[in-house]
Structure formats: C-alpha cells, structure tokens
A and B are shown apart, each in its own frame.
Chain A
Amino acid sequence: MGALNHKFNENILITSLDKLLNWSRSGSEWYFQFGLACCAIEMMSAAAARHDLERFGAMPRSSPRQADVMIVAGTVTLKMATRVKRLYEQMAEPKYVISMGSCSNSGGPYWQHGYHVLKGVDQIIPVDIYIPGCPPRPEALIEGLMHLQKKMREEHVLEKKED
C-alpha cells in the first residue's frame, strides 16, 4: 500500500477501494517462514498437504520484505529475541504478528526457571493474535489465521488516521 496508506478522507470510492484491498490482503496472508522450536513443526504440518494453508492464500516467504504476517512459532530465547525484533522491523507495513504457542505467549514451561527465555514475545514486538497450546495443532493455527483475516477485513488502510 505504501504511498496510499492513510492519506484520504472517507468517501464512497475510498471505502469501496478499502474493501477491495482488505479482501485481497486477507486472502493472501503471506507469512514469514521461520520457526524457533517444536511449534514450527506444527506450522510446517499446517502448510503441508493435509492442512494446506495455501487454501487460504497463506504461503511461506523466506524474506521479511515479502511477508505480511510473522508467526512467532516457538521459544523466544533472549539471544533470539534481538533477532526477532530486527526481523520484525525489516517487514514492510502493514504487518501483523501471530504469537503461536505457550512459549511465545508467556514463556510457557520456561516461565519460572528459564534464565535464557523471554517471558512473552509481546515484550518486544506488538502481537495481534495469540494462539494457545503447547504446541497448538494445525487447526488452531488455521483458526488464528482466520481471526487475523477477520481483523484485516475490519481495517481501513486508506482512510485518514484520526491523529
């Protein structure tokens, strides 16, 4: 969207265009292909033939520049947290984050004695959708992506921001 982002006042043309853009954006949730722990195995399983995420237009991208959604799939160690933050910053707007599994939601099993684990990825980047589970099944990931689609459809990327 880039140059068109939040530039226009509300009118019939813009709201219709907004709908078209949101429809196309929610139908192509290209997610950033990187996994940190066992949740990544479920993510791969969700992308593979049986669950087939590409039914929803979600396909893995290997570069943060091409990705719309970052699925933080797994334990975010403090060493990795600095990299996760940098990768998030490299993604192009509009960008979304799904926190997949207990570890990235809250530290999970490393909640108390994990000297090396970040207690929730929302401490370093803004999270849109949290998926519970350890690890969540592919169905749960699909539901998370569908919730994100719903969120995308309700957005107004062209209309002027209130501020």
Chain B
Amino acid sequence: MFWKRKKTDVTEQEIYADLSKKFGDKILEFMEEGTHNPTVIVEADQIGKIVSYLKDDERFQFDSLMNLAGHDPGAESELSVIYHLYSTELKHYITLKVFTSREEAVVASVANIYQTANWHEREAFDLYGIKFDGHPDLKRILLEDDWEGFPLRKDYVPAEFYRGMRIEKVK
C-alpha cells in the first residue's frame, strides 16, 4: 500500500548536491538556517529545466507541485517565486526559490510540466506582476482585466476610484 511505503532516505542536502553537479552555477545557494523548509535557490530562467529534471529522475520523482507562490519581502528588495515540490511515490519534499528583479520580473514557466502551475502562475502574475515566460494563457485570474497595478507588491498604492466606485472610504 502506498501509504505504508517507507520514506526514502534522500535528504535535501543530497538533492542540492546532485543539482549542483548536474546544473553547475545555475544552482545558486542552499538555505537551511532561518527557513521553514530547506530551500535551494536557483536561476530564474533555468527553473523549468531543473523542475522537469527533478520530476523525471528515478531517485527523486517529484510528481506533485504542492504550491507555487510569489513573494515580496519589501519595497527595496527583489521579488521571488517559491516552489514546493513533493513526491507522492517517495514521500520527500524540496523547496525551490528564484529571485527576479522588481522592474523586469520574468521567470520561466513550469505550467507545461505541472498542470497545477497554470492557475498558480496566473495568481502570481495577477498580484505581484511576475511574468512567466512560456505560460499558455497568462492573464489576471482574481482581479478584473482592467485593474491597474499589482496589489500584493509592498509599494502598491490603491487607486482612488475603480469604475466610478470609491475604494477608500472618506473619513
């Protein structure tokens, strides 16, 4: 039974070491301290290749993208996208992270590797303005198409009106 299968002994350190061997300087850093999950930081334009390698490799079999989220730590810093991968076969996790500049936020899309990434990437585009290169249908998912700005960016200032409706109440 799959739920009784033992967790494999592949650790995050080993995954990082293997990725470093395979992709060289495209793998930037490995963070263990100060993060919730051990995180591998990689180059933004290489994320597709790295994720599909992790998905297809026999030893890793990361067949599930649990979550894909945009992140903005503050108005002065870079935007990032975080990928939480899980293997339903081998029951292990890895977290990947990419950084991208605030002005020209472009990250390679993984929507053709994981179907679930399609809407997650649209959400990150909608709220953070991160463009996903290679996404089949990149448009806003929650807000209206004529919305201006990206509300979850820390430097976002709400407009006064939206289609004639006042957004902030006059005190």
- The secondary structure that dominates the B interface is loop
User: A111, A115, A124: which contacts B165 (Cβ < 8 A)?
Assistant: A124
Q: B75 contacts the other chain (Cβ, under 8 Å)?
A: no
Report the Cα distance A123→B158, complex, angstroms: 18
Report the Cα distance A111→B158, complex, angstroms: 13
- Smallest CB–CB gap between B158 and chain A, Å? 4
Contact status of A78 and B165, CB under 8 A, knowing A115-B156, A115-B158, A116-B143: yes
- By beta carbon, the residue of chain B nearest A124 is B165
Are A120 and B151 touching (Cβ within 8 A)? no
Mark contacts of B80-121 with chain A using CB atoms, 8 A cut-off: 1 yes-contact digit, 0 otherwise: 000000000000000000000000000000000000000000
A101: chain B residues at CB < 8 Å are none
- Smallest CB–CB gap between B88 and chain A, Å? 33
Are B165 and A123 touching (Cβ within 8 A)? yes
Are B167 and A81 touching (Cβ within 8 A)? no
Q: B163 contacts the other chain (Cβ, under 8 Å)?
A: yes
Q: A50 contacts the other chain (Cβ, under 8 Å)?
A: no
Are B169 and A119 touching (Cβ within 8 A)? yes
Are B151 and A116 touching (Cβ within 8 A)? yes
- The secondary structure that dominates the A interface is loop
Are B167 and A78 touching (Cβ within 8 A)? yes
User: B144, B151, B166, B169: which contacts A115 (Cβ < 8 A)?
Assistant: B151
Q: B76 contacts the other chain (Cβ, under 8 Å)?
A: no
Mark contacts of A17-53 with chain B using CB atoms, 8 A cut-off: 1 yes-contact digit, 0 otherwise: 0000000000000000000000000000000000000
Report the Cα distance A79→B168, complex, angstroms: 15
- By beta carbon, the residue of chain B nearest A119 is B169
Contact status of A115 and B167, CB under 8 A, knowing A79-B143, A79-B144: yes
Size band of the interface chain A makes with B: 10 to 19
User: A79, A82, A119: which contacts B166 (Cβ < 8 A)?
Assistant: A119
User: B162, B163, B169: which contacts A111 (Cβ < 8 A)?
Assistant: B169
With A115-B151, A116-B143, A119-B169 known, 17 other A-B pairs at CB within 8 A are A78-B144, A78-B162, A78-B165, A78-B167, A79-B143, A79-B144, A81-B165, A106-B169, A107-B169, A111-B169, A115-B156, A116-B151, A119-B166, A119-B167, A119-B168, A120-B169, A124-B165
Chain B contacts to A: CB under 8 angstroms? 143-144, 151, 156, 158, 162-163, 165-169
Chain A contacts to B: CB under 8 angstroms? 78-79, 81-82, 106-107, 111, 115-116, 118-120, 123-124
27 residue pairs from A and B, CB less than 8 Å apart: A78-B144, A78-B162, A78-B163, A78-B165, A78-B167, A79-B143, A79-B144, A81-B165, A82-B163, A106-B169, A107-B169, A111-B169, A115-B151, A115-B156, A115-B158, A115-B167, A116-B143, A116-B151, A118-B165, A119-B166, A119-B167, A119-B168, A119-B169, A120-B169, A123-B165, A123-B166, A124-B165
